[in-house]
Structure 1
């Protein structure tokens, strides 16, 4: 059944006409954003191969969306070989629009086609395989899951915002172990897509820009949709930038804080010790060492010191009452920022935002400085650990501390 979109269309007339010509489809695979023409074509080709192999009896659409393109690029993408039951098309959104608006376009296409299942793929991941399509979409079509989060192996330098902030905070708040809640790849049902489309977040919000992935994962969890995870293996991205720029950090963390307000009754009801582990689809992840990703850890340490100096009054005001200020060090070699301080520090900043103790932008700038300090310390101290040991002894241990300290957040939330 085709469901009419619930908000003003973000698709151009040409794309809407193409969708009308296609008529219906059971699966829509969206690829929001162009970063590299070569990797994008590879992702489109791999998606088409995966759909043809794993879902041969299903009408499907591979839909690439970006804010800029050329006729040559469009011809390159739409020229990908595909069987008769599979369509490949591209579409433009308004120039300057963020990833969230591109995702909104994918959801709208899914609604117009009446698709039962959807998936998102990043356009700059050369490590994608056809099996990813089965692991992201199969749980939705076969087992009626609503949201399938990615589970990948990445180098410790990649995804530090997820590993040191988003993952442990989401895990502790909602009592669910989603290792990569802002991973970019995911699968979802028509019901969840319809819920997302109906939310008033698609115009001039952080969700419409860079925070759409964590918003999608969090709302799926907090609203009680059925959750699964897809083991996708090693993930390698064709991107030069590793650290999130200031605006992305602000958008992601600001959205997380907004969601804490919206779902306060949900996460407050989750005991600190509670932890659900959604079922996994696909082969168990191996202990393979991912390809190294360059990261200037020394720069992070300097950014931490500069941020601590610049925001000292605010940081002292937020943290000093609990004596959880990290120790200062003159050199990176002597820099320490224990995980035992990190979890309560993050919660104190969440409380300061909740109580409007300072401007949110200033709070997030100060928190970003502390984030640089925690990440640079963890990476420096644990250089000798292999990938598996780093995952268990640093990332998982740290996530456990967020659970341990959650009682303080819950107790303080309603106090003024």
Structure 2
């Protein structure tokens, strides 16, 4: 593993290396051996393919390391591919184990400036997206000047990525008006200038907790109205679910999402509806297992929350929502169902309570967990007999419900004391 702990300063990281067309940045610790073995053939094929777009395509790979690791530069002499190290202190991970740290993005952004990179491809350190097809999908729209931000569309099963499908995607779509299916990717393409701006903005807005910051490329891109394209990427990332409990995951992701809503309130309150974002390439098939989900433990977690968290929920949710939740608690497992409009309003109510600091944010976001599990139970039962395409249409209906409930959120946000149905 490249040494990360004894880096003196960013200024001593990398000598001048000349300009490149594409900078591929590995946003976290990775071994030199694994990096070379995984990237070798893919990069050679990528250069060959994209040379039709940019003649004499020059590619550099940025990864965490010290100056000693820059021997790669000498080894690649005469090649169109360079390996460059950037300094990264600490663990190299962000708020959650599988999320890159903002410091990694900043280190890659510095190299993007030094190399005058036209396009940057940011990859998770698990290298799951290191294939010619995925790298090309993220880079080509940038090199062809179709966009300044390429967001991935990952192949997922109907039971995969449910936190994204139930909260992150519909919430960001409704608020910011762009239908970006994966608003918090660990692989994406971006222009060098925009990456520098984005990494600097995130760090400056949260200097007190820079290591815990989360960078949302889709949201940041929306704030400056940049041209965005989505591209199908054949990568499945393991999220290390056993390493962090669900409440921590929800607290980190929903908390960051709600903080962004507060910061950007003046913008999203003016937006209505959403615009589709172009998708390029053909979708990849999900190859994981699709075993049935046992909804009984999920419903039991919801019922436990209903018994123990009524006092907390009553501080966050209006009376109508509380009545609907009590009605759900009396349903049999076969009848259990959480309607889309109710779920959308619940998420909005928690976002408002987060802004108002109605109670400790830790306790607030912890109280969202059993409600989320109730949604998962309802969704899993509903899509049990559906194929992946039909399940995706089901998520689309949920996203529309968030859009339709947005006026409710705007009203509560502007008049939290007066508008409490």
Q: Give TM-score scaled by structure 2 length.
A: 0.81
> Is 1:280–2:279 an aligned residue pair?
yes
| Contact preservation (8 Å) 1:41, 1:76 | no
After superposition, the Cα gap between the structure-2 partners of 1:36 and 1:25, relative to the gap in structure 1 and judged at 3 Å, is: closer
Q: May I ask how many residue pairs the two structures share in their alignment? A: 393
Partner of 1:116: 118
Structure 2 residues not aligned, in runs of 5+: 95-99, 417-421
- Pick closer, same or farther for the CA change 1:404–1:187 going to 2, 3 Å: same
Q: Which residue of 2 aligns with 1:153?
A: 155
Q: Does 1:209 align with 2:212?
A: yes
1:61-92 CA distance string (max 9 Å, x none): 112338xx9x9xx7999999897111124555
Q: 1:231 — aligned with what?
A: 232
- Partner residue of 1:252? 253
Alpha-carbon contact 1:30-1:119 (below 8 Å) kept? yes
Equivalent residue, structure 2, for 1:29:
24
How many angstroms does 1:168 deviate by?
0.3
SS across alignment from 1:64: strand
- Whichever of the two has the greater Rg, that structure is 2
Q: What is the CA distance between 1:161 and its match in structure 2?
A: 1.4
Question: Is the 1:78–1:90 Cα contact (8 Å) retained in structure 2?
Answer: no
Question: Distance between the aligned counterparts of 2:277 and 2:62, measured in 1?
Answer: 28
What is the distance in 2 between the residues matched to 1:367 and 1:106? 35
3-state DSSP of counterpart to 2:154: strand
Query: Is 1:317 aligned to 2:318, yes or no?
Result: no
| Partner SS for 1:119 | strand
Q: Report if aligned partners of 2:106, 2:196 keep a CA contact under 8 Å in 1.
A: no
Q: 2:174 aligns with which of 169, 172, 175?
A: 172
2:9–2:87 CA contact under 8 A, matched in 1: no
Structure 1 position 29, deviation (Å): 1.1
* Cα distance change on mapping 1:401 and 1:77 into 2, 3 Å: farther
8 Å contact 1:52–1:83 — kept in the other structure?
A: no
> In 2, distance between residues paired with 1:185 and 1:178?
14
Report SS of the residue matched to 1:19: coil
Q: Which runs of 5+ in 1 are unaligned?
A: 1-9
Residue 369 of structure 2 is matched in structure 1 by 368
User: What CA RMSD, in Å, does the superposition of the two structures yield over aligned residues?
Assistant: 3.4
**How far did residue 58 of structure 1 move?**
2.5
Query: Contact between 2:23 and 2:121, CA under 8 Å: does it hold in 1?
Result: yes
Once the two structures are superposed, the pairs formed by residues 128-139 of structure 1 within 5 Å of their partners are: 128-139=130-141
Secondary structure of 1:180's aligned partner: coil
Structure 2 vs 1, CA of residues 302 and 92 (structure 1 numbering), >3 Å: closer, same or farther? farther
Q: Deviations over 1:26-82 (max 9, x none)?
A: 32111223489997666534652454233442322112338xx9x9xx799999989
Q: TM-score, normalised by structure 1?
A: 0.82
Q: Separation in 2 of the partners of 1:145 and 1:137?
A: 10
